[in-house]
């Protein structure tokens, strides 16, 4: 390519704001995801057990529930990191696009505060302000808040909830006033420690779906598929899914989930729940690993697919630079090449 052509290309790329796509190609991933962990343990008067009068369903020893939350936090971080590797089942060297770290953790031996304006929901503003959330988001770079709590007769958590300069795209009622809003985006995940690691990761899968359904357009629809014609499926429906939570379906289907292509079909293989051991957590990881990530090498209408994990790793970066699931860099290069 001639020098003047390269200069013109650089100008056009800058004008179209495609520098972030270039950054992705040269290794912007993995994106760091710093976490603030908040844990609410309402205890009995002797301080030894979780108070079932508050939780409705958990009365285990406090020490056991703390240990369980420790374990599930670690397991969820590992699952989400592993899930961000692109097709490691065919490329064992595939790197992760997300790396999770815990910045800080606070335990509260009391019931969660209730939202005075929204019956049946926690007061997330009070919870987060108590933890000095502005400092963690704006100065310490926290992108996610993981709340370990409970789902009782009186209190129902949102699985995910987002706040920031680009609004709330989450698996909640998307109330713009139920979280403190700052100049940076963060997402709150509220887990139920009565349940397991799979249910915690389940929250993240629904958040991925919420974000991708907002920003992925037709390309995400092609990746996910639809009832009766699933491609890669979604949180509740694997490729052979017939109903919600159909992770143990033994019925075989011919699926290209491991070689999905935006146009036409990739190589298909016969799969059923044995592919992921009939285990919901393993399905979530397998599903995430099938999503286009780093160095995916896929194209759509002759344009390269970006690393879709940028939407989960740095939402603000993606929004500020108008990221999409597909880039146009190669199109521009072709038009300028003699």
- Note whether 55 and 195 are same-domain residues: yes
> Would residue 17 count as lying in a domain?
no
Residues 268 and 173 in one domain: no
pLDDT for residue 16:
36
Query: Domains in the chain: how many in total?
Result: 2
Q: Is 197 found in the same domain as 108? A: yes
**Which band of pLDDT confidence, cut at 50, 70 and 90, is reported for residue 327?**
confident
Confidence class for position 5, pLDDT limits 50, 70, 90: very low
Tokens of 234: 């979604």
- Choose one of 176, 198, 214: the last residue of a domain: 214
Domain C-terminal end among 265, 281, 297: 281
Asked if pLDDT for residue 29 goes beyond 50, the answer is: yes
In this structure, the answer to whether residues 237 and 182 fall within a common structural domain is no
Model confidence over 193-231: pLDDT tens digits? Answer: 999 999 999 999 999 999 999 999 999 999 999 998 999
3-state SS track over the chain: CCHHHHHHHHHHHHHCCCHHHHHHHCCCCCEEEEEEEEEECCECCCCCEECHHHHCCCCCEHHHHHHHHHHHHHHHHHHHHHHCCCCCCCCCCCCCCEEEEEEEEEEECCCCCECCCCCCCECHHHHHHHCCHHHHHHHCCCCEEEEEECCCCCCCCCCEEEECCCCCCCCCCCCCCCCCCCCCCEEEEEEECCCCHHHHHHHHHHHHHHHHHHHCHHHHHHHHEECCEECCCCCCCCCCCCCCCCCCCCCCEEECHHHCCCCCCCCCEEECHHHHCCCHHHHHHHHHHCCCCCCCCCEECCEEECCCCHHHHCHHHHHHCCCCCECCHHHHHHHHCC
Residue 327 belongs to some domain of the structure: no
The per-residue pLDDT of the chain, averaged, comes to 90
Same-domain status, 56 and 149: yes
Same domain, 52 and 97: yes
Last residue of a domain, one of 214, 233, 267: 214
Residues 154 and 254 in one domain: no
Query: Residue 39: exposed, middle, or buried by beta-carbon count in 10 A (0-12, 13-18, 19+)?
Result: buried
Q: How far apart are CA 98 and CA 309, in angstroms?
A: 7
Same domain, 191 and 241: no
pTM attached to this predicted model = 0.89
Q: Are residues 155 and 277 in the same domain?
A: no
The domain of 232 spans: 216-281
Q: Are residues 181 and 135 in the same domain?
A: yes
């Amino acid at each position: 390519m001639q020098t003047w052509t390269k200069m013109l290309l650089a100008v056009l790329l800058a004008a179209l704001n495609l520098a972030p796509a270039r950054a992705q190609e040269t290794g912007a991933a993995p994106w760091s995801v710093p976490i603030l962990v908040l844990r609410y343990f309402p205890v009995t008067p002797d301080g030894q057990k979780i108070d079932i009068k508050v939780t409705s369903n958990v009365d285990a020893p406090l020490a056991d529930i703390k240990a369980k939350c420790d374990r599930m936090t670690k397991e969820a971080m590992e699952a989400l990191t592993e899930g961000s590797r692109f097709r490691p089942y065919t490329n064992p060297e595939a790197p992760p696009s997300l790396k999770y770290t815990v910045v800080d953790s606070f335990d509260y031996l009391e019931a969660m505060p209730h939202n005075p304006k929204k019956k049946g929901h926690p007061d997330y503003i009070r919870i987060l302000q108590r933890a000095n959330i502005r400092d963690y988001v704006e100065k310490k770079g926290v992108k996610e808040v993981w709340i370990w709590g409970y789902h009782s007769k009186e209190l129902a958590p949102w699985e995910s909830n987002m706040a920031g300069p680009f609004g709330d795209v989450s698996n909640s009622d998307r109330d713009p006033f139920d979280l403190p809003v700052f100049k940076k985006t963060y997402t709150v995940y509220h887990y139920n420690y009565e349940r397991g690691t799979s249910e915690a990761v389940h929250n993240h899968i629904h958040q991925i779906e919420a974000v991708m359904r907002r920003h992925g357009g037709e390309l995400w629809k092609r990746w996910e598929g639809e009832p009766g014609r699933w491609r890669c499926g979604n949180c509740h429906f694997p490729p052979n899914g017939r109903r919600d939570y159909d992770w143990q379906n033994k019925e075989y289907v011919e699926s290209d989930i491991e070689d999905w292509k935006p146009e036409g079909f990739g190589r298909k293989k016969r799969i059923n729940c044995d592919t992921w051991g009939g285990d919901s957590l393993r399905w979530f990881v397998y599903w995430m690993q099938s999503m286009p990530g780093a160095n995916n090498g896929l194209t759509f209408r002759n344009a390269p697919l970006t690393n879709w994990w940028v939407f989960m790793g740095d939402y603000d970066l993606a929004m500020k630079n108008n990221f999409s699931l597909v880039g146009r860099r190669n199109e521009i290069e072709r038009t300028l090449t003699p």
